[in-house]
DNA sequence: ACTGAAATTGAAATCGATTTCAAATTCTCA
DNA sequence: TGAGAATTTGAAATCGATTTCAATTTCAGT
């Protein structure tokens, strides 16, 4: 492998001058520039990235922690993050936590070893108090999932309100018996959404039935499982408000398989408005989250911090969302 | 930031000894080990990754090039790759090409700058001849997509045979008018599958109708589009063999929306056996690819090369697959 | 107590770039 | 023409680790 010293030797110049050419510094004569360029070509020289990172004290790499690569929600979030990263020539180190606290911890340690310039979290596995120590090691941006007392930039939605309008929609459709499938129990996002759900029921004098509250439902299989539980009940809900289109699609499929009609026997409301929402039968009524925008915004904040060195403080950015009515409710 | 020199100074030892402790070398006295450990803790010291990479001449990072993060097929491929990478403590630099030749080129150049120890390709955008120059810069492993005369380790399926048995299944179901939706035109994988399709038709004396051959169909939207084209035809196929479950799901949804019955009016055969295949109505008959295994195998080959320094040559590994009959055919 | 082997430790070189500082050269304009 | 400024270039320090080589100390077994 050719190094900068080889180029210097071949041209008869110093490493400094070669470096100046590589980095387009002014005050290098045209003649030497050409000389160096030719030598680099001839030697098939490429600067060693590790050496540059060491010297420049930055890596131009951002770690993105996602719980599950195969969950399309996070794929779209990544897509949003990637679209902005690409524009600024930043690399993405994709880290899958599989909801494992230790993995999350290990990945955050990339900040300590200066392997990345920043971390974007799309979920939170550990207690936030335990994660605060990493803040001094480099910028952390939170997106999608959030944490009320986290003093870091955050991008997300008003999930209480999301839960509220979704539930209200079902009530307005005439439902009195409404179930709720939430995501993980440790998720503040899910808890907020549930709070919105409860608020809507309360306002309309409807009771919250705890046997109709399902936890940890976040994919197709989870949706199917919930339906099976519902089918085993004497008293069944007539509508379900679900935390993701994946889960909702699983519910519709399983419910139909057991002879229920959607929405007559069971109305299903999704969340996200993913592609899958258009191919269920009937198509899903859902609350559209601007997933890619959430990712973009998060990466833009990161860029403000690490590239433009702005002091962004810890803004809590809330993006808008809306209900999209299709056939499932 | 504390460096190894700070630890050395605090302990009164040399950097060498500290380094030995960090790397668990033998021949360091218990006493000094404790001393160094304490100092590291006290100074909150973490070794600088860039410095280590520079010195060790390896990055423990693999670049994975995928065309599209939001395509679930590649998400599962990534999942397979990641599962093995995690086991060996390798980082994944995820690079989305968006089917762009220049991006692919740029990402492959990570090998030249020694930013990654190897590259896994899951698709190919440039002419293979143009990519061969990168082989000398570091190991390249091909998975999913392949290239007949590429002298690099490759993991995939016998797609000709896949196309053949899929088509044969439709023929055995009594269909005489069969359409085919393939992926990108530059994909050898897609071409092989199409070859299998043609072979099956030929063997049964059925003609290939070029207006029933759809190119570039690779997601839900593509499937819907193809159905709209079919509906506009005077002579319609009675069955479609599609290159992905995504596309097949889109077709079923759109066909039903226009009043076609599945499979009576239009039989749809998918490919991959993704989660979505179980929630369409009727559920999808499909050819199951062991997607995650493909990814795992590819990463295992990479590990044989970069960790175990095996001379793996350029094996072409072909994994098995099978047809899963559900309701759509 | 002595000898050869093993254990323990440190000084200095090295990985491959960038940047500072200063020296040498060229330019500008009174 | 000469002084001061601007341009051009290189030597050496630096980023933060690892490793080689050699020196010293300790150990095992007579």
User: Is the residue at B258 inside a domain?
Assistant: yes
- Distance in angstroms: CA B184, C1' C28: 63
β-bridge pairing B91-96 and B61-66 = parallel
Minimum Cα–Cα distance from B136: chain A residue: A1
A263 and A222 fall within a common domain: yes
B165 and B274 fall within a common domain: yes
Is the shortest CB-to-strand distance from B52 to strand D under 7 Å?
Answer: yes
B130 and B72 fall within a common domain: yes
- A114: exposed, middle or buried (C-beta count within 10 Å: 0-12, 13-18, 19+)? buried
On whether any CB of chain A is under 8 Å from the CB of B275, the answer is yes
| CA atoms in the 13 A half-sphere facing the CB of B65 | 30
Question: How much is the pLDDT for B269?
Answer: 98
Question: How much is the pLDDT for A127?
Answer: 95
On whether any CB of chain B is under 8 Å from the CB of A5, the answer is no
For the cut 90, the answer to whether the pLDDT of residue A291 exceeds it is yes
What does the DSSP 8-state code read for residue B110? G
pLDDT, tens only, B151-188: 999 999 999 999 999 999 999 999 999 999 999 999 99
- Distance in angstroms: CA B60, C1' C14: 20
B278 and B297 fall within a common domain: no
Cβ B54–A59 below 8 Å, yes or no? no
B169 and B79 fall within a common domain: no
User: Is the residue at B147 inside a domain?
Assistant: yes
pLDDT, tens only, A177-193: 999 999 999 999 999 99
CB-based contacts of A193, cutoff 8 Å, min separation 6: A159, A160, A162, A163, A182, A243, A271
To the nearest whole Å, the CA of A73 is away from the closest chain B CA by 9
User: Of all residues in chain A, what percent carry a pLDDT higher than 90?
Assistant: 99
On whether any CB of chain B is under 8 Å from the CB of A191, the answer is no
Question: How much is the pLDDT for A26?
Answer: 86
Give contacts of B 101-140 with A, CB under 8 A: 103, 109-110, 112-115
Please list the residues that pair with A241 across neighbouring strands: A180, A269
Minimum Cα–Cα distance from B112: chain A residue: A46
B90 and B137 fall within a common domain: yes
User: Is the residue at B28 inside a domain?
Assistant: yes
B190 and B279 fall within a common domain: yes
Instruction: Give residue B302's domain range.
Output: 56-157+291-320
- Distance in angstroms: CA B55, C1' D11: 24
Which nucleotide's C1' is closest to A52 (Cα)? C17
A171 and A254 fall within a common domain: yes
Minimum Cα–Cα distance from A3: chain B residue: B113
B282 and B179 fall within a common domain: yes
B210 and B153 fall within a common domain: no
On whether any CB of chain A is under 8 Å from the CB of B2, the answer is no
Provide the Cα torsion B278, B284, B290, B292; round to 10°: -40
A279 and A303 fall within a common domain: no
User: Is the residue at B325 inside a domain?
Assistant: no
User: Is the residue at A119 inside a domain?
Assistant: yes
pLDDT, tens only, A47-99: 999 999 999 999 999 999 999 999 999 999 999 999 999 999 999 999 999 99
Q: What is the CATH number of the domain that holds A43?
A: 1.10.260.40
The shortest CB-CB distance from A115 to any of B49, B70, B220 is to B49
Q: What is the CATH number of the domain that holds B64?
A: 3.40.50.2300
On whether any CB of chain B is under 8 Å from the CB of A1, the answer is yes
Cβ-contact A224, A246 below 8 angstroms: no
Contacts of residue A50 in chain B, CB cutoff 8 Å? 50, 53-54, 59, 114-115
Low-confidence ranges of chain B (pLDDT < 70): none
CB-based contacts of B133, cutoff 8 Å, min separation 6: none
Mean pLDDT calculated for residue range A305-315: 94
Mean pLDDT calculated for residue range A17-42: 94
B168 and B259 fall within a common domain: yes
To the nearest whole Å, the CA of A253 is away from the closest chain B CA by 5
E strand segments, chain B: 61-66, 91-96, 118-121, 140-143, 154-157, 178-181, 213-214, 239-242, 267-272, 285-288, 316-319, 322-324
SS3 A179: strand
Total structural domains within chain B: 3
The shortest CB-CB distance from B50 to any of A46, A54, A219 is to A54
Pick from A22, A69, A95, A117 the residue to mutate for testing the B interface (most B CBs within 10 Å).
A69
CA A248, CA A244: separation in Å to the nearest integer?
Answer: 6
Look up residue A203 and give its two tokens.
């306002």
Instruction: Tell me: cis bond preceding B96? Omega within 30 of 0 counts.
Output: no
User: Is the residue at A65 inside a domain?
Assistant: yes
Question: How much is the pLDDT for A80?
Answer: 98
Contacts of residue A281 in chain B, CB cutoff 8 Å? 253, 256, 280-281
User: Is the residue at A325 inside a domain?
Assistant: no
- Distance in angstroms: CA B111, C1' D10: 31
User: Is the residue at B329 inside a domain?
Assistant: no
Cβ A279–B280 below 8 Å, yes or no? yes
- Nearest alpha-carbon partner for B168 in B182, B158, B181, B178: B178
CA B89, CA A81: separation in Å to the nearest integer?
Answer: 24
């Amino acid at each position: 492998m050719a190094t900068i010293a080889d180029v210097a030797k071949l041209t008869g110049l110093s490493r400094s001058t070669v470096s100046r050419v590589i980095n387009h510094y002014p005050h290098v004569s045209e003649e030497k520039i050409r000389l160096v360029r030719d030598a680099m070509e001839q030697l098939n020289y490429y600067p060693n990235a590790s050496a540059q990172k060491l010297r420049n004290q930055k890596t131009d790499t951002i770690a993105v922690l996602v719980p599950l690569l195969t969950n399309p929600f996070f794929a779209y979030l990544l897509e949003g993050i990637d679209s902005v990263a690409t524009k600024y020539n930043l690399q993405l180190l994709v880290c899958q936590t599989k909801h494992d606290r230790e993995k999350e911890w290990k990945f955050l340690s990339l900040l300590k070893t200066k392997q990345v310039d920043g971390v974007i979290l799309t979920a939170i596995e550990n207690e936030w108090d335990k994660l605060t120590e990493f803040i001094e090691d480099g910028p952390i941006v939170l997106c999608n999932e959030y944490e009320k007392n986290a003093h870091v930039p955050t991008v997300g939605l008003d999930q209480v309100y999301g839960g509220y309008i979704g539930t209200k929609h079902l009530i307005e459709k005439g439902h009195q018996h409404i179930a709720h499938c939430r995501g993980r129990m440790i998720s503040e996002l899910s808890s907020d959404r549930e709070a919105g759900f409860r608020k809507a029921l309360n306002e309309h004098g409807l009771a919250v039935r705890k046997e109709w509250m399902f936890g940890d439902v976040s994919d197709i299989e989870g949706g199917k499982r919930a339906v099976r539980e519902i089918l085993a009940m004497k008293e069944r809900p007539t509508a379900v408000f679900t935390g993701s289109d994946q889960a909702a699609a699983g519910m519709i499929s399983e419910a139909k398989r057991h002879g229920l009609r959607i929405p007559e026997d069971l109305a299903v409301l999704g969340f996200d408005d993913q592609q899958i929402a258009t191919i269920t039968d009937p198509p899903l009524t859902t609350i559209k989250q601007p997933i890619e925008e959430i990712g973009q915004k998060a990466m833009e904040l990161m860029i403000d911090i690490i590239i433009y060195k702005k002091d962004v403080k810890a803004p809590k950015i809330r993006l808008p969302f809306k209900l999209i009515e299709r056939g499932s409710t």
